Chains A and B, each alone.
Chain A
Amino acid sequence: MDGNATITRRQFIVTGATAAGGIAIGLATSPSAFAATAGAQPWSSEDGRNPHDLDAFIAIEPDDSVLIRYVRSEMGQGSMTALPMIVTEELQCDWSKVRVEYASANRSVRENKVYGDMSSYGSHSVKLSREKMQQVGASARERLIAAAAARWGVQPQDCTAANSIVTHTATGRTFRYGEIAGDAAKITLAKEPAIKTPDQYTFIGKPMPRIDVPPKTNGSAKFAIDTQLPDMVFAAINACPVPGGKLKSVDDSPLAATPGVLQVVRLPDAVAVVATGSFWRAKQALAKLHPEWDVGDAGTTDSAQFSREYHAALDGPAEVARNNGNVDEVLPKAVRTLEAVYETPYLAHAPMEPMNATVHFQPDRLDIWIGTQAANETIENAARVSGLNAEQIYIHNCFIGGGFGRKTANDQMVQAIAIAKAVQRPVKLIWTREEDMRRDRFRPQAVTRFKAGLDANGMPVAWSMRNVIGSIFASLGMHRPGLKGPEPMAVAGLANNAYNVPNTRVDAVLKNTHLPVMFWRAPGENQNIFALESFVDEIAAASGQDPYQLRRKLLEGKPDWLKVLDTVAEKSDWGKPLPKGKGRGIAICDNMGSLCAHVAEITVSAKGELKVDRVTVAVDPHYVVNPLTIAEQMEGGTIFGLSAALYGKITVKNGVPEQGNFDTYRMVRLAEAPKIDVHIVPSGGPAWGGVGEASTPPIMAAVANAIFAVTGKRIRSLPIMDHDLSPGSA
């Protein structure tokens, strides 16, 4: 019997293939009694070790409880459940006895990078860790078996392991894992065991509730902002409102007699106030200061100017990312040509937990409480800015209150280290929402031009795509050794588009303003797919073709793409008549190795009010660890993309990002949230896809295309709220 089967059958009803070949997910009973657990405090103990360590990844205690160390960080994406599920598949332990904590970045430094890459971005946690997690589980299982066999004086191959018990098959004798873990810890296998192939999985693939959910329902889950230390003080900060500007001077006399204010700390581009008692006190004191800034030339810029400059750059020199056939020769001779220019704005990440860090700096030791998407990179960064060795630095990585890419670059930690050095006390620095939004490293703005030549049947025979877009690598100061052509994000979704068009050219002009830019959920695709999938819709409209059928023809011979496309069309009732004022739009993309398609069904009222009623998602991640989490990521990523499509823009005036809070940077709320149906159609194959970002890009085009279906208005710039959708408007 498989060790995990009993629990999972009681917990869930899982049907096999549905009509479309997908996986239906049903949560049958409240699962918490059978579930693995995460503590309220996710970071590991002081040195990241446990007296019952089998190795750096697994400790098994005498009571059979299994501690699994998770090398990534949890921000809602679910890999804190998925990776331990993968270990459990091989370890054959009882899932209800599993407890999970973050692996220690400090231990990894001290033990020759034992945890390897600890980052959570690029939707890669499962992709990059799956094989290793299987090996870790399999190795531990074989060592437990070897320990039991030695006690009995029998051969390991005559023993089996299941449900946290090793059994000698012939005699039925058993040891609990907890009884032999100490022996197993001393065993080195002569050879690493083979790991299961996906067809052998019995636990991977089952819908398991996320282990971090219970502490997130009672206020106990620890986020970095919740850190409390003895003697801790609070810091509020204002960086120069024009990104890139410097602090000239600040007069701190307004705070001379303010109770509780400890210190004004001047940083090269910011001023911070440190106070005792509460963050509020620090924030109020900071508001009394009127720093003088050197904002440079950027202080006269605005969004209209940026837009003009980006449009002008369309005709400048570009770096080629893809060039098939001969676009220049074929396109002008086509029966019909189309051209369209799309524009997407800067966006803020706006995680619900604003940037913050708590730092305790001592001469020979640095402790940092933070929510970081890359603890191993954070520890190296902290070493650089603090002057300490990485071995002396302890990252207490917390549950992350939303990351979406932002929490890979921890600017606030760099500030907090400087402030802690200045005040010589543990300090908690919190960015206000306004600081968080205006001092973001934004999703780049872009202007994207398409030209297409169609044949007599309306099929594109040649097309070109040029993107003018901010360089993330340049903004982050990252080098691109060996990189040919533009950086991948600039042409993501375009250069790798799967459409069979014999003559295709994709190029990019990398152009930055003074606003820093960075990775934002589905970098590149989140804007390029809006543009591309809208333009494909334009081709369909221009040639009188159904947008779904046109895509089918362009994807001929690509069964995995067609499966996703056909699934979303079938499940969304594509083609079935809708009442007046309602319509559907479709879009598809490849993101982080997963294919994802949306159909959005919308209503546009006589007054031009838009409501997204229903969204159908089909996704092919190739393999499925936890279908429940995949469904959640599809739902959440859809809402994330919908907020951007409907409302998202950061505009600039006098060099300053204008939007600072949720009153001006609007989010989709519950009343606006469409019903979302998710269909998972895994196609297998050699590669695994990621699921954290795949559903963010296509929803934007799906909604825009639905607007065209209802109103005949083509949305060529975001956000949609800037467009008048009422009949008769231009």
Chain B
Amino acid sequence: MVTITVNGTQHQLDIEPDTPLLWALRDVVSLTGTKYGCGIAQCGACTVHIDGQPMRSCSVPIASVDGASIITIEGLSPDGKHPVQQAWIAEDVPQCGYCQSGQIMAVAAFLKDHPSPTDADIDANITNICRCGTYERMRRAIHRAADLMKA
């Protein structure tokens, strides 16, 4: 039995200990905003915050996060108005949208450590794949979100 807190709600999960957090969230906790893209921590579509740190949940066994507090895209803000989400809407970033939960979660964590990011900071830290190629709008949205967070 593993206990995790997801978006403020505690869950006790009776599943195989090697189950990746991704599948625990999607299939057991029934939060499907976190996406499966590769299963090998390459694409970042499954990014969530584990005790505040951005992690690729497809490669995190559930047993390793016993007692942890996890934030998913559904819990990033109560009303979908986190500055990163606002900036994403303002810049019309998503196309197919499948990778964007992971992108937004990665950026939200990144901006906590880089409140005034340079392009080089963004290049070095935002490494999730977007097959639709929304990178340039994403870059603009990251700068916009940083501004919103300061305002």
A402 x B131 contact (CB < 8 A): yes
Q: Within the complex, which residue of A214, A215, A228, A284 is in contact with B32, where a contact is CB–CB below 8 Å?
A: A228
Q: Within the complex, which residue of A78, A222, A663 is in contact with B40, where a contact is CB–CB below 8 Å?
A: A663
Q: Which residue of A lies closest to B92 (CB)?
A: A209
Which residues in window 189-234 of A have CB below 8 A to B? 209-210, 212-223, 225-226, 228, 234
Q: Which residue of A lies closest to B81 (CB)?
A: A218
CB of A673 within 8 Å of the partner chain: yes
Which of A44-52, A291-299, A351-359, A418-426 lies at the binding interface? A351-359
> In whole Å, how far is B99's beta carbon from the nearest beta carbon of chain A?
5
Across-interface contacts of B90 in A (CB, < 8 A):
27, 30-31
With A209-B89, A213-B89, A277-B28 as given contacts, are A225 and B36 in contact (CB-CB < 8 Å)? yes
> In whole Å, how far is B9's beta carbon from the nearest beta carbon of chain A?
15
**Docked complex Cα distance between A234 and B39 (Å):** 17
**Docked complex Cα distance between A663 and B127 (Å):** 13
Across-interface contacts of B100 in A (CB, < 8 A):
216-217
CB of A415 within 8 Å of the partner chain: no
A217 x B89 contact (CB < 8 A): yes
Total contacting residues, chain A, CB less than 8 A: 67
Q: Which of B45, B80, B124, B129 has the most CB of A within 10 A?
A: B129
Which residues in window 663-708 of A have CB below 8 A to B? 663, 667-671, 673, 675-676
CB of B54 within 8 Å of the partner chain: no
Q: Within the complex, which residue of A222, A280, A352, A403 is in contact with B43, where a contact is CB–CB below 8 Å?
A: A352
Across-interface contacts of A676 in B (CB, < 8 A):
136
CB of B149 within 8 Å of the partner chain: no
Across-interface contacts of B86 in A (CB, < 8 A):
30
A637 x B133 contact (CB < 8 A): yes
Q: Which residue of B lies closest to A615 (CB)?
A: B136
Residue interface mask B85-128, A partner, CB < 8 A = 1:
11011111111111111001000000000000000001110111
Across-interface contacts of B31 in A (CB, < 8 A):
219
> In whole Å, how far is B149's beta carbon from the nearest beta carbon of chain A?
15
Q: Which residue of B lies closest to A639 (CB)?
A: B133
**Docked complex Cα distance between A636 and B135 (Å):** 8
**Docked complex Cα distance between A675 and B45 (Å):** 23
Across-interface contacts of A643 in B (CB, < 8 A):
133
Across-interface contacts of A352 in B (CB, < 8 A):
35, 37, 43, 45, 96, 98-99, 129-132
**Docked complex Cα distance between A433 and B36 (Å):** 9
CB of B138 within 8 Å of the partner chain: yes
CB of B66 within 8 Å of the partner chain: no
A218 x B134 contact (CB < 8 A): no
Across-interface contacts of A442 in B (CB, < 8 A):
none
> In whole Å, how far is A353's beta carbon from the nearest beta carbon of chain B?
5
**Docked complex Cα distance between A228 and B98 (Å):** 17
**Docked complex Cα distance between A303 and B132 (Å):** 28
B42 x A219 contact (CB < 8 A): no
CB of B147 within 8 Å of the partner chain: no
Across-interface contacts of A164 in B (CB, < 8 A):
none
Q: Which residue of B lies closest to A638 (CB)?
A: B133
B96 x A401 contact (CB < 8 A): yes
Residue interface mask B20-52, A partner, CB < 8 A = 1:
100110111011111111111011010000000
Q: Which residue of A lies closest to B133 (CB)?
A: A639
Residue interface mask A348-366, B partner, CB < 8 A = 1:
0011111000000000000
> In whole Å, how far is B60's beta carbon from the nearest beta carbon of chain A?
12
B89 x A32 contact (CB < 8 A): yes
With A402-B98, A661-B42 as given contacts, are A635 and B134 in contact (CB-CB < 8 Å)? yes
CB of B53 within 8 Å of the partner chain: no
B139 x A218 contact (CB < 8 A): no
Assign chain B's interface to a size class.
35 or more
Residue interface mask A56-89, B partner, CB < 8 A = 1:
0000000000000000000111100000000000
B89 x A353 contact (CB < 8 A): no
A277 x B95 contact (CB < 8 A): no
Across-interface contacts of A76 in B (CB, < 8 A):
94-97, 132
Across-interface contacts of A403 in B (CB, < 8 A):
96
A433 x B39 contact (CB < 8 A): yes
Across-interface contacts of B133 in A (CB, < 8 A):
635-640, 642-643, 668, 673
B96 x A218 contact (CB < 8 A): no
With A27-B92, A671-B123 as given contacts, are A218 and B28 in contact (CB-CB < 8 Å)? no
Q: Which residue of A lies closest to B40 (CB)?
A: A661
A234 x B134 contact (CB < 8 A): no
A278 x B92 contact (CB < 8 A): no
CB of A95 within 8 Å of the partner chain: no
With A75-B96, A636-B95 as given contacts, are A430 and B36 in contact (CB-CB < 8 Å)? yes
A214 x B95 contact (CB < 8 A): no
CB of A432 within 8 Å of the partner chain: yes
> In whole Å, how far is B35's beta carbon from the nearest beta carbon of chain A?
7
With A27-B91, A30-B89, A353-B35 as given contacts, are A669 and B129 in contact (CB-CB < 8 Å)? yes
Q: Within the complex, which residue of B15, B19, B36, B131 is in contact with A667, where a contact is CB–CB below 8 Å?
A: B131
**Docked complex Cα distance between A673 and B133 (Å):** 8
Q: Which residue of A lies closest to B34 (CB)?
A: A219
Across-interface contacts of A402 in B (CB, < 8 A):
96, 98, 131-132
Seed contacts A215-B97, A219-B32, A635-B133; 16 additional CB < 8 Å A-B pairs: A32-B89, A214-B80, A214-B89, A218-B85, A278-B28, A352-B35, A352-B99, A354-B37, A401-B97, A632-B137, A635-B134, A636-B134, A638-B133, A661-B39, A670-B139, A671-B126
Q: List 27 A-B contacts (CB under 8 A).
A: A27-B90, A27-B92, A32-B89, A76-B95, A210-B94, A214-B89, A216-B100, A219-B32, A219-B73, A220-B74, A226-B32, A228-B30, A228-B32, A277-B28, A352-B129, A353-B98, A354-B37, A400-B96, A401-B98, A635-B136, A637-B133, A662-B37, A662-B42, A662-B43, A670-B139, A671-B124, A673-B139
A interface residues (Cβ-Cβ under 8 A, vs B):
27, 30-32, 75-78, 209-210, 212-223, 225-226, 228, 234, 277-281, 284, 350-354, 399-404, 430, 432-433, 628, 632, 635-640, 642-643, 661-663, 667-671, 673, 675-676
